[in-house]
Each structure stands twice: as C-alpha cells, then as structure tokens.
C-alpha cells in the first residue's frame, strides 16, 4: 500500500516540478533579456506543501517569499546579480520533503532555503541541508526538537511549541476557566509535540485531562472519536494539528451536538479553517499563533497592502515567509563570498534583524529569542486577534 | 459504552458504510466480468464529487433551502453520475479495451496510470487545495435516544439514495436483458460471445454502471464531509476495495454488505480501541477475513458470479 502511495505522490511531484521548470523556462526566454544574460543568478528555495490538503498554507508562505525576492531584485541591492526563487512541493509528506531537499542541494546555484512548513518534513530535510552546508530558515516549523539536532545550518523564525503549548494552556486555565478538557493530535511531529506540551502544562495547572487520542492526517471521518468524547462533556477540546483535519473535526463535532469550544495552535490559525468549516461551526474557536495580528502591526502595513492587492486575502504565514526570506537575502547581500559557506557565515554573524513581524535574534541553536505567542479567536467568521497568550 | 453512544456509532458507521458500498459496487462489477481490479475506480469517485462542485458553481451559489433536496439534489446527482459514467466508459475504451488480450498485469498498471492522470487533471482544473463543498439544505438533527444521540436529515438522505440506487442496480441486473447479458459474460465470456452477445458493449455498460454508482458516492461524500480534494479518491477507493473483498469480490450483494460492515466495524474499532488505529483496523479486518474466508463473507468458492 505504501509503495502505491509513494508512486502516486512521486508522479504528482514530478508533474509540479515539470510545471515549475516550464515556468522558469518561460521567464528566462522572455524578450528583452539581453542584459539579463550578463547577470549572475543566485537561487533560494522555498519548500512547503504546494499541492494537497495543506496547499493553501504553503502557497501563502511561498507568496510571501516571492514578494521578498522580487523587492530585493527591484531594489538593486546586489548589483550584477538576480535572485530567483525555486519552489519545491513537499506535499506535507516527509519522504517528499527529503526528495525536495535533495533536488535543492543538487543545484549549485541554490544558496539557501526557506522551509519546510510541517515539523515532520523539516526534520528529515534539515539533515540534508546540513550535509550540504546550506542555510535553512523555517518560518513555521515549531517543534522544539528541530533545533536540538546540532545543525549549524538550521534557523527558525517561529516560536517553539514548548512555549506555544504551555502559553495556550495558561490562557485556557486563566482566561477561559477550563476545568476539564480532551486532547486530540494528528500524530505528526508538530501536532503531537504541541498537544503533549499543552497537556503537560494543563495538568500542572489543575485542569482534568479526560483523554488524549490521535487521528490520521488525510482522514475525513472523525465521528467515531467525537461520539466517544461527547458524553465526557469537556469544557474545551484541544487539537494539535493543521486546519484540514481541524475544520472537519469542528463540523463533525457541531453536527453531533458537541458545543464545547475548540482550541489549537498555529496550524489552525488561518482563515482557511473558517472557510472550510463554515462560520457557524468555527465560531468561538481559539488558536495560538507565533505572532500577533499582522494587520495591526504598523511595520507590516506596506507589505499587507502590497500583498492583498496582488494575491487577495493575507495568509497567516505570508508575512513570516516574507521575513524569513528577507533574513536570508540580507545574508546573501552581506556575505563576502556568494557561496553556501559564505551565506552561512553571514547568517551566523548577523546580530539581529528587524522584520515586519518583529525583531528576530537567533541564539546559538538557531532559534529566535523573541518568542511571542498571540491568541486569535474566530468571531463572526473572521480570525480576530485577542491579545498575548497568558 | 452507553446505549446512546452505541446508537450514534451505528448511525455514523452506516452512513460512511453506504458510501463505501456505492464505490465497492464498481470494483465488484468490473471484477465479476473482467477479473480486473480497476484501481482507477477511486478516482472516478473523486471526479463525481468535483462534477457536483462544478454544476453547483455553474448554476450559481444557491442559498441552502429545504426544497433543494427535492429539486436541486437530483439534478446534481444525475449530472455527477452522468459525468462519471462517461469518464468510466472512456477509461474502459481507451485504457483497458486495447489491452483486453494482454497479460493480466498490463491493465492493472494502466489502471494506476489512469488514476494518476485523473488526479492531475482534476488538480489542474480545480486547483491543488481543499475545496469547500456547499451545504445544499440546512442540516437538522432528529433525536433517536434520550442522551442526545441523533440522526441528521443528511444522513437519512445518504441512506435513502444509497439504498435506492443499490436496489435499482440489483433489479437491473436481475430483470433486464442487459443485466442478463452481464451475468452471462461473468459466467463465461467466450460462450456468451458465441451466443451473439456483443461483449464489448456489455463490458462498456458495466463500467458505465459502476462509475455512475461511484459518482453518486462522490456527491454524497462531498455533502457529508464538506471538503473535497483531488487525492480523496485514494483512501476512499482503498476502503471500498476492502469492502468489496470483504463481501466477496464479484458478488453484488456482498459488496453492499461489505461496505456497511466495514463502516460500522471501523467506527466501533475507533471507539473501543483508539481512533489512532481507525484505518489500521479496516485493513486488519481485511487480512483476518482473507485468512478465514479467502473468498470473502459472501463469496462462493469459485468467484465468477456477478
């Protein structure tokens, strides 16, 4: 069964690769490229799920990276060089993430990568980038173990789940007055890690944990589990996972008559959750997010306007992809040698970076020392910022 | 487990079980006649869901109203079934018929190729993300127990449509000339052809029927879960294939029963053991059945009946 599955995924991946090559080829052969031929080309990768159920979140992320790259090229900060973006689809599948990583490191023009999205994809891919000495900045993977592998090539902008989970638990106990809750996770590196961190802190705060069960990514029917949860009457259902399963859980819970609010992490903090679950089913859902409301941050205003003019509604991860790409581009700009080693050295020596999402200061593990967690709540069909999670 | 939870799990299991049954029929019909496992069948099911999405968008986003169940839903169902029947027949004509006399493995590999093709066509046409499937009518819940167990009007609809379609198919195969020809072909293809039966036409109509059932399953699946994605056919197809084998592949009432049994067992497995093992449970059932009854629950010793 797994071999058939892998075969299918490969075909979809190779198709998207072909399309990507076709697009790149199309760009290169545009007329008026006389001066472009003399430009040297530097590539940066953007690896995320670009097809499949999580595609929206990956597309949001890579569009942020795309805008950073285009602004960089337009600014002419690096004379004689054009930066290109190489998008890689990992289909939220660890095996595909490894394939994507291998393709990126095999192209000598690629000096760094923004990605991946899921922690379960970032983990195996980070070993390949480390082996190739290539800088990797993840904007979204939040599992704390990722930075404990001792890879000098690994950086992340997002706060980690050992901060996000407990802060969510404190919010549930202090602000929502939750007495008993049920925990669900999607059994992935991210989902389980976050749910475990949440559960541990919730139990320490005296909240009764009625149970903790896993579901499978890609499954659609969660009625058996929810039917089991209903008579336990939890005050809150916590879900460690991503929005495709999150939205189905919400719809099915409401259809069964479960009225307890849901809470989750950054994986469900996206307007796509509301679109898929419907405004009625998702109303009152809480989500922790590794940042605040981008639409209210003055430093992000110009980006938000430009993004929404071009792509429509701002994705929850677009600004983080944009910031991560700008950090990498700054390292490319300041590097003495425009090589992978040069970029990595520049990354390690840049003391801090002020992006549109806030300041980014990497510690020696590559984690961002600025670990802010905000709370969002679905109110009237919109994801509304509530405040810092405490 | 309280009675309330028990009833609710039964209702949930039956609902998804009927959808499995509708898909399983296509596997079983084709296998009965060609001894071919049509692995592209799960994709036909997925195409059905997208066909419904397409016609809904074409007719304009109608506000969900109770009358939609009477007027609009039959239209969506018929359209999706027609699209799937056409796709199924085309797949048979261009992917399987040229390989009719090739070794058994060749059409199996073509089937996998066709399923890639269909997935990628739908992905390019509708986009790579999850698509939200609209509610056609407001969902109401009718209580069936004191503690809040209930059945929704949508679930009743899924049961009614599935039972209606399966009964119709059963009567068609029992009582019509075309049905008789299908049964003849499944008994002995060469002899049937000697008796003047146009085998190609009968095989094409078998694909037509099976694909139409899967198309209806796709519409009901979309209505029930409200999101569809271009790779939804894979897992649903595997489950339905399990259901077909469970009931005895080639056996039509077996496929119907197999789907329902699988849906209910899966639900109880998830409830009693753990939801983490829900999908594993389905395939463990398959292995156990194959060990104890290699021809499935309702399969005869020589699996040649349609």
| Residue of B112, B231, B263 to mutate when probing chain A, most A C-beta within 10 A | B231
Give bridge partners of residue A113 from the DSSP assignment: A45, A136
Using one digit for the tens of pLDDT, what is the confidence trace for B144-162? Answer: 877 778 899 899 999 999 9
Give the number of residues written for chain A: 390
The answer to whether residues A245 and A383 belong to one domain is yes
pLDDT score of A17: 42
The answer to whether residues A264 and A383 belong to one domain is yes
Provide the residue range defining the domain that includes A50: 2-13+39-159+299-356
Cβ burial B117-147 (10 Å sphere, 16+ → b, else e)? ebbbebbeebebbbbbbbbbbeeebeeeeee
Nearest-neighbour CA in chain A from B88: distance (Å): 20
If you write DSSP's letter for every residue of A348-374 in order, what string do you get? Answer: HH---EEETTEEE-B-TTS-BS----E
The answer to whether residues A9 and A154 belong to one domain is yes
Of B8, B123, B266, the CB nearest to A51: B123
Cβ burial B264-281 (10 Å sphere, 16+ → b, else e)? bbbbbbbbeebbbbbbeb
Query: Is residue B206 within 8 Å of residue B33, measured between CB atoms?
Result: yes
A205 touches B at CB < 8 Å: no
Nearest-neighbour CA in chain B from A195: distance (Å): 15
Provide, as residue numbers in chain B, all residues whose Cβ is less than 8 Å from the Cβ of A222: 275
The answer to whether residues A188 and A268 belong to one domain is yes
Under an 8 A CB cutoff, do A247 and B150 touch? no
Q: Which of A390, A357, A364 is nearest to A139 (CA)?
A: A357
Under an 8 A CB cutoff, do A257 and B150 touch? yes
Provide, as residue numbers in chain A, all residues whose Cβ is less than 8 Å from the Cβ of B129: 53, 55-56, 59, 272
Question: Element (H or E) spanning A20, and its range?
Answer: helix A2-28
pLDDT score of B270: 86
Nearest-neighbour CA in chain A from B188: distance (Å): 32
CA pair distance B12, B6, nearest whole angstrom: 10
Half-sphere exposure of B299 toward its Cβ, with a 13 Å CA cutoff? 25
CA pair distance A352, A327, nearest whole angstrom: 9
Of A15, A53, A216, the CB nearest to B278: A216
Please list, in sequence order, all residues whose beta carbon lies within 8 angstroms of the beta carbon of residue A101, skipping any fewer than 6 positions away. A47, A88, A113, A124, A125, A128, A129
The answer to whether residues A155 and A166 belong to one domain is no
Cα-Cα-Cα-Cα dihedral sign, residues B81, B105, B20, B184: positive
Nearest-neighbour CA in chain A from B148: distance (Å): 8
Q: What CATH number should be reported for the domain holding residue A308? A: 3.40.50.2300
The answer to whether residues A44 and A145 belong to one domain is yes
Q: What is the mean pLDDT of residues A86-98?
A: 94
The answer to whether residues A348 and A245 belong to one domain is no
Cα angle B174, B111, A3 (rounded to 5 degrees) comes to 125
Of B9, B116, B127, the CB nearest to A227: B9
Query: Is residue A66 within 8 Å of residue A86, measured between CB atoms?
Result: no
Chain B (236-265) residues lying within 8 Å, Cβ to Cβ, of chain A:
238
Instruction: Domain B3-137+157-292: give its CATH code.
Output: 1.10.3470
Under an 8 A CB cutoff, do A230 and B148 touch? yes
CA pair distance B110, B39, nearest whole angstrom: 9
Q: What is the mean pLDDT of residues B26-34?
A: 92
Cα-Cα-Cα-Cα dihedral sign, residues A110, A115, A120, A126: positive
CA pair distance B26, B30, nearest whole angstrom: 6
Q: How many domains does chain A have?
A: 2
The answer to whether residues A280 and A210 belong to one domain is yes
CA pair distance B27, B43, nearest whole angstrom: 12
Q: How confident is the model at residue B274 (pLDDT cuts 50, 70, 90)?
A: confident
- Tell whether the model's pLDDT for residue A5 goes beyond 70: no
Provide, as residue numbers in chain A, all residues whose Cβ is less than 8 Å from the Cβ of B232: 220
Q: What is the mean pLDDT of residues A208-216?
A: 95
Classify residue A221: in a domain, yes or no: yes
The conformation of residue A205, written as its DSSP 8-state character, comes to T
Please list, in sequence order, all residues whose beta carbon lies within 8 angstroms of the beta carbon of residue B43, skipping any fewer than 6 positions away. B114, B115, B118, B119, B233, B237
Chain B (39-98) residues lying within 8 Å, Cβ to Cβ, of chain A:
none
Chain B (5-24) residues lying within 8 Å, Cβ to Cβ, of chain A:
5, 8-9, 12-13, 16
Q: What is the mean pLDDT of residues B176-183?
A: 92
Which 3 state secondary structure label does DSSP give B127? coil
- Beta strands B227-228; A374-379: pairing state: unpaired
Chain B (274-293) residues lying within 8 Å, Cβ to Cβ, of chain A:
274-276, 278-279, 283
Under an 8 A CB cutoff, do B5 and A230 touch? yes
The chain-wide mean pLDDT, for chain B, equals 89
φ/ψ of A176, rounded to 5, equals -95, -15
CA pair distance A337, A193, nearest whole angstrom: 38
CA pair distance A24, A18, nearest whole angstrom: 10
The conformation of residue A78, written as its DSSP 8-state character, comes to S
pLDDT score of B17: 95
Classify residue A18: in a domain, yes or no: no
Through-space distance between the first and last CA atoms of chain A, rounded to whole angstroms:
45
A233 touches B at CB < 8 Å: no
Of B4, B147, B152, the CB nearest to A255: B152
pLDDT score of A292: 82
Under an 8 A CB cutoff, do A231 and B119 touch? no
Classify residue A110: in a domain, yes or no: yes
If you write DSSP's letter for every residue of A250-266 in order, what string do you get? Answer: HHHHHHHT--SPEEE-G
Question: Element (H or E) spanning A43, and its range?
Answer: strand A40-48
Please list, in sequence order, all residues whose beta carbon lies within 8 angstroms of the beta carbon of residue B87, skipping any fewer than 6 positions away. B44, B47, B118, B211
- Tell whether the model's pLDDT for residue A6 goes beyond 70: no
Classify residue A30: in a domain, yes or no: no
Of A5-9, A82-86, A371-375, B274-278, which gets the smallest average pLDDT? A5-9
Nearest-neighbour CA in chain A from B6: distance (Å): 9
Give bridge partners of residue A383 from the DSSP assignment: A378
Alpha helices in A206-260 (DSSP H): 223-229, 243-256
- Tell whether the model's pLDDT for residue A112 goes beyond 70: yes
B200 touches A at CB < 8 Å: no
pLDDT score of A125: 96
- Tell whether the model's pLDDT for residue A31 goes beyond 70: no
Nearest-neighbour CA in chain A from B154: distance (Å): 10
Nearest-neighbour CA in chain A from B86: distance (Å): 24
| Distance (Å) of CA A23 to CA A16, A28, A325 | 10, 9, 21
| Residue of A224, A273, A279 to mutate when probing chain B, most B C-beta within 10 A | A224
The answer to whether residues A137 and A184 belong to one domain is no
Q: Which of B3, B16, B2, B4 is nearest to B264 (CA)?
A: B16
Under an 8 A CB cutoff, do B128 and A52 touch? yes
- Tell whether the model's pLDDT for residue B306 goes beyond 60: no
pLDDT score of A296: 82
Question: Element (H or E) spanning A112, and its range?
Answer: strand A110-115
Which 3 state secondary structure label does DSSP give B198? coil
CA pair distance A50, A43, nearest whole angstrom: 19
Of A39-48, A201-210, B279-288, which gets the smallest average pLDDT? B279-288
CA pair distance A19, A37, nearest whole angstrom: 23
Chain A (245-264) residues lying within 8 Å, Cβ to Cβ, of chain B:
247-248, 251, 255-257
Which 3 state secondary structure label does DSSP give A286? strand
Under an 8 A CB cutoff, do A224 and B225 touch? no
- Tell whether the model's pLDDT for residue A23 goes beyond 80: no
φ/ψ of B222, rounded to 5, equals -60, -45
Classify residue A368: in a domain, yes or no: no
A280 touches B at CB < 8 Å: no
Classify residue A363: in a domain, yes or no: no
CA pair distance B190, B136, nearest whole angstrom: 47
- Tell whether the model's pLDDT for residue B179 goes beyond 50: yes
Using one digit for the tens of pLDDT, what is the confidence trace for B186-199? Answer: 888 889 999 999 99
The answer to whether residues A141 and A248 belong to one domain is no
Query: Is residue A45 within 8 Å of residue A88, measured between CB atoms?
Result: yes
The answer to whether residues A173 and A155 belong to one domain is no
Q: What is the mean pLDDT of residues A192-218?
A: 94
Q: Which ipTM value was assigned to this complex? A: 0.86
Classify residue A32: in a domain, yes or no: no
Please list, in sequence order, all residues whose beta carbon lies within 8 angstroms of the beta carbon of residue A254, skipping any fewer than 6 positions away. A280, A281
CA pair distance A136, B145, nearest whole angstrom: 56
Provide, as residue numbers in chain B, all residues whose Cβ is less than 8 Å from the Cβ of A272: 129-130
Provide, as residue numbers in chain B, all residues whose Cβ is less than 8 Å from the Cβ of A275: 132
pLDDT score of B64: 65
Classify residue A381: in a domain, yes or no: yes
The answer to whether residues A174 and A242 belong to one domain is yes
CA pair distance B95, A264, nearest whole angstrom: 46
Give me the residue spans of the domains in chain B. 3-137+157-292
Q: What is the mean pLDDT of residues A170-188?
A: 95
Provide, as residue numbers in chain B, all residues whose Cβ is less than 8 Å from the Cβ of A91: none
Chain A (24-83) residues lying within 8 Å, Cβ to Cβ, of chain B:
50-53, 55-56, 59
pLDDT score of B21: 96
Q: Which of A92, A127, A147, A114 is nearest to A44 (CA)?
A: A114
The chain-wide mean pLDDT, for chain A, equals 88
Under an 8 A CB cutoff, do A255 and B130 touch? no
Q: How confident is the model at residue A19 (pLDDT cuts 50, 70, 90)?
A: very low
Q: How confident is the model at residue A30 (pLDDT cuts 50, 70, 90)?
A: very low
pLDDT score of B271: 85
Which 3 state secondary structure label does DSSP give A344? helix
Half-sphere exposure of A73 toward its Cβ, with a 13 Å CA cutoff? 17
State the CB neighbour count (10 A cutoff) for residue A349: 10
Provide, as residue numbers in chain B, all residues whose Cβ is less than 8 Å from the Cβ of A254: none
B154 to chain A: closest CA residue: A255
Using one digit for the tens of pLDDT, what is the confidence trace for B239-268? Answer: 999 999 999 888 889 999 999 999 999 888
Using one digit for the tens of pLDDT, what is the confidence trace for B74-131? Answer: 999 999 999 999 999 999 999 999 998 898 889 989 999 999 999 999 999 998 888 8
| Residue of B5, B8, B133 to mutate when probing chain A, most A C-beta within 10 A | B8
Find the helix packing angle between B68-91 and B199-225, rounded to 10°: 140
Q: How confident is the model at residue A37 (pLDDT cuts 50, 70, 90)?
A: low
Residue B162: asked if its preceding bond is cis (omega within 30°), the reply is no
Q: What is the mean pLDDT of residues A56-77?
A: 94
Of A92-106, A272-286, A347-361, which gets the smallest average pLDDT? A347-361
């Amino acid at each position: 069964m797994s071999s058939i599955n892998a075969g299918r995924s490969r075909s979809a991946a190779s198709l998207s690769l072909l399309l990507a090559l076709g697009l790149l080829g199309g760009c290169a052969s545009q007329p008026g490229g006389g001066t472009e031929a003399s430009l040297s080309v530097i590539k940066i990768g953007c690896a995320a799920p670009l097809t499949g159920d999580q595609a929206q979140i990956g597309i949001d992320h890579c569009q942020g990276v795309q805008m950073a790259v285009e602004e960089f090229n337009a600014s002419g900060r690096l004379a004689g060089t054009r930066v290109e973006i190489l998008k890689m689809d990992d289909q939220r599948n660890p095996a595909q993430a490894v394939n994507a990583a291998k393709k990126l490191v095999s192209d000598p023009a690629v000096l760094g990568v923004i990605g991946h999205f899921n922690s379960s994809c970032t983990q195996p891919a980070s070993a390949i980038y480390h082996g190739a000495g290539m800088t990797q900045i993840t904007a979204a993977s939040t599992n704390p173990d990722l930075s404990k592998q001792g890879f000098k090539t690994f950086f992340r902008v997002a706060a980690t789940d050992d901060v996000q989970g407990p802060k969510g638990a404190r919010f549930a106990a202090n602000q929502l007055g939750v007495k008993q809750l049920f925990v669900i996770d999607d059994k992935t590196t991210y989902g389980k890690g976050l749910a475990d961190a949440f559960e541990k802190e919730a139990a320490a705060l005296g909240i009764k944990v009625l149970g903790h069960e896993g579901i499978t990514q890609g499954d659609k029917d969660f009625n058996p589990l929810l039917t089991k949860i209903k008579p336990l009457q939890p005050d809150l259902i916590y879900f460690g996972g991503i929005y495709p399963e999150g939205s189905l859980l919400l719809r099915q819970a409401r259809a069964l008559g479960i009225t307890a609010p849901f809470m989750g992490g950054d994986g469900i903090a996206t307007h796509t959750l509301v679109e898929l679950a419907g405004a009625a089913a998702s109303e009152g859902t809480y989500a922790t997010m590794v940042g605040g409301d981008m639409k209210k941050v003055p430093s992000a205003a110009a980006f938000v306007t430009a993004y929404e003019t071009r792509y429509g509604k701002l994705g929850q991860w677009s600004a983080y992809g944009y910031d991560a790409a700008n950090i990498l581009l700054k390292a490319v700009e300041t590097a003495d040698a425009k090589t992978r080693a040069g970029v990595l050295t520049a990354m390690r020596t840049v003391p801090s970076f002020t992006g549109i999402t806030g300041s980014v200061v990497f510690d020696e593990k590559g984690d961002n020392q600025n670990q802010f967690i905000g709370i969002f709540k679905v109110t009237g069909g919109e994801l509304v910022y509530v405040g810092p999670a405490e | 487990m309280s009675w309330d939870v028990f009833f609710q799990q039964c209702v949930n299991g039956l609902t998804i079980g009927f959808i499995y049954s509708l898909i399983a029929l296509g596997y079983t019909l084709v296998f009965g006649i060609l001894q071919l496992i049509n692995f592209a069948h799960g994709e036909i099911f997925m195409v059905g869901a997208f066909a419904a999405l397409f016609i809904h968008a074409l007719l304009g986003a109608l506000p969900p109203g109770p009358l939609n169940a009477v007027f609009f839903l039959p239209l969506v169902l018929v359209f999706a079934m027609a699209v799937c029947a056409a796709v199924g027949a085309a797949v048979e004509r261009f992917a399987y018929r040229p390989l009719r006399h090739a070794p058994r493995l060749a059409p199996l590999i073509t089937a996998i190729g066709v399923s890639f093709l269909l997935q990628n066509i739908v992905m390019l046409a509708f986009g790579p993300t999850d698509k939200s499937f609209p509610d056609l009518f407001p969902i109401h819940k009718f209580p069936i127990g004191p503690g809040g167990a209930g059945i929704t009007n949508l679930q009743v609809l899924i049961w009614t449509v599935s039972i209606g379609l399966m009964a119709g198919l059963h009567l068609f195969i029992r009582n019509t000339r075309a049905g008789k020809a299908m049964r003849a072909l499944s008994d002995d293809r060469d002899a049937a052809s000697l008796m003047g039966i146009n085998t190609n036409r009968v095989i094409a109509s078998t694909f037509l029927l099976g694909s139409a059932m899967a198309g209806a399953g796709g519409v009901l699946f979309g209505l029930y879960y409200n999101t569809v994605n271009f790779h939804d056919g894979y897992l649903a197809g595997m489950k339905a294939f399990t259901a077909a084998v469970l009931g005895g592949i080639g056996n039509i009432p077996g496929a119907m029963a197999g789907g329902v049994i699988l849906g209910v067992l899966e639900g109880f497995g998830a409830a009693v053991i753990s939801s983490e093992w829900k999908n594993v449970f389905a395939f463990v059932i398959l292995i156990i059945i194959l060990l104890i009854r290699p021809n499935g629950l309702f399969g005869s010793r020589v699996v040649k009946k349609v």
